[in-house]
Amino acid sequence: MDETTISREALFANLKRVVLKLGSSVVTAEEGLDRQNIRSLVDDVCRLKQAGKEIVIVSSGAIAAGVKRMELKGGAKTIPQKQAAAAVGQTGLMAAYEEAFWSHGVRVGQLLLSKDDLSHRRRYLNARNTLMTLLSWGVVPIINENDTVMVEEIQFGDNDNLSALVASVAEADLLLILTDMEGLMDCDPRTNPSACLITLVEGITPEIRSLAGSSTSAVGRGGMASKLEAASKAGAAGVPVVIARGKIPSVVDRIIAGEMIGTLILPGKERISARKRWIRYHLEPEGALVVDAGAARAVKLSGKSLLPIGVTAVRGLFQHGAAVTIETEHGQTIAIGLSNYASDEMEKIKGHQTAEIDWVLGFRRNDEAVHADNLVLLDNGENSR
């Protein structure tokens, strides 16, 4: 199948909810915030709202805007400097959005999220409920990572990743990632002037990932590799993704209308439930269970639960209910799941039959070490992050 057999116009005809991710290079310019482009994008968004569509914006740019406003010639280097720049820049960024939307009579709401907010199930549901309430009110949610408190342990890494998680939480019909790149190219345009845009991707294979390189913009943290990773995460929720240049006039209108702009990445056929997406993409593994070949086959090929008898080693310290990776004895990570037993309990029952758990521990919480309902397979070579 190629682009000629897929009508973008037909694919996007019945969109109801769109997540629009705006990179730092899209909302900032040499002098600071690019208010003209922000207004142009807001005009597009408001036309979509008038057509009955719901829009969620994930916007980068707070740190870049703060650096410009504070005239930090060397940029923000340390984490405290980046946090402070974000604090200064976020107010200006939201003011620019509010002004642009208010000219259309549209209200906006700000959500600042950290990874911690989505890694706890109750907080995840609270964030989702807030998001859905804003949409029901006709408010445009504007989401950014909470850079003012970011540390390595709680940051999403980049807003591409955050936008994919938001698309999943919001049950979006499309994730539109606008950046300073045309889309995914068939080779590196910096070294090959004849590089061509790939307009359609039907599966994110290792070959596709290899085309991403390590490019990043001067003002953003993400590159094409992070955008493909975001597309993979969105695809698990059945959400198609378009990656395109964000400073093309009326770019949102034109993409939604079906114009051949940027790279369209279709979701895979296999989708996973909302709970399993939460386990896979929102939780940080606290340990690992190493399994024998038989257990690995049962988990990976037959979709079975992991039983204690198949566990050969336990790594890390964790409580029951914690996320753990499941690894083969050769070091390959094949799944992530929620452990029914704490690490010290697993040490005692590993290699034992289910019927022996009572005898070993004095109680039996569950028959399984990790139940199939709480277990998510990982792609070959994919890690758990």
Give the Cα separation of 313 and 243 in Å (integer): 42
Residue 236 in any domain: the answer is: yes
Domain match, 358 and 266 both: no
Q: What proportion of the chain, given as a percentage, has pLDDT over 70?
A: 90
Domain match, 263 and 353 both: no
3-state secondary structure at position 122: helix
pLDDT level of residue 37 (50, 70, 90 thresholds): very high
Domain match, 164 and 35 both: yes
Domain match, 240 and 292 both: no
**CATH classification of the domain holding 325:** 2.30.130.10
Residue 122 in any domain: the answer is: yes
Domain match, 19 and 100 both: yes
Residue 383 in any domain: the answer is: no
Instruction: Please identify, among 237, 272, 307, the residue that sits at the C-terminal boundary of a domain.
Output: 272
Give the Cα separation of 383 and 370 in Å (integer): 18
Domain match, 243 and 292 both: no
Domain match, 10 and 139 both: yes
| Count of domains for the chain | 2
pLDDT tens, residue by residue, 240-257: 999 999 999 999 999 999
Give the Cα separation of 88 and 82 in Å (integer): 10
What pLDDT does residue 197 have? 92
For residues 10-23, average pLDDT: 93
Candidates 220, 206, 195, 246; CA nearest to 382 is: 206
- Whether the per-residue pLDDT at 220 is higher than 60: the answer is no
What pLDDT does residue 383 have? 46
Domain match, 331 and 219 both: no
pLDDT tens, residue by residue, 111-146: 988 777 776 777 878 888 999 999 999 999 999 887
Candidates 252, 348, 279, 281; CA nearest to 308 is: 348
Give the Cα separation of 363 and 202 in Å (integer): 49
216 vs 280: which has the higher pLDDT: 280
- Whether the per-residue pLDDT at 35 is higher than 50: the answer is yes
Instruction: Please identify, among 272, 299, 323, the residue that sits at the C-terminal boundary of a domain.
Output: 272
Domain match, 173 and 196 both: yes
Residue 277 in any domain: the answer is: no
Residue 385 in any domain: the answer is: no
Candidates 291, 236, 298; CA nearest to 269 is: 236
Domain match, 320 and 350 both: yes
pLDDT tens, residue by residue, 320-376: 999 999 999 999 999 999 999 999 999 999 999 999 999 999 999 999 999 999 999
Residue 382 in any domain: the answer is: no
pLDDT tens, residue by residue, 282-320: 788 999 999 999 999 999 988 899 999 999 999 999 999
Handedness of CA 61, 67, 73, 75 (dihedral sign): negative
Domain match, 261 and 295 both: no
pLDDT tens, residue by residue, 55-98: 999 998 888 888 888 888 878 888 888 888 888 989 999 999 99
Residue 255 in any domain: the answer is: yes
203 vs 166: which has the higher pLDDT: 166
Q: Please report the beta strands in 188-322, taking only residues with DSSP state E, as ranges in sequence order.
A: 200-201, 241-245, 263-265, 287-291, 311-315
Which residues form the domain of 329?
A: 283-377
Instruction: Please identify, among 272, 301, 319, the residue that sits at the C-terminal boundary of a domain.
Output: 272
Domain match, 217 and 159 both: yes
Q: Which of 99-103, 229-233, 357-361 has the least mean pLDDT? A: 229-233
What pLDDT does residue 299 have? 94
pLDDT tens, residue by residue, 147-202: 666 555 434 557 888 899 899 888 899 999 999 999 999 887 778 888 899 999 98
**CATH classification of the domain holding 107:** 3.40.1160.10
235 vs 176: which has the higher pLDDT: 176
Strand order in the sheet with 174-179: 108-113, 140-145, 54-59, 17-22, 174-179, 241-245, 263-265, 200-201
Residue 180 in any domain: the answer is: yes
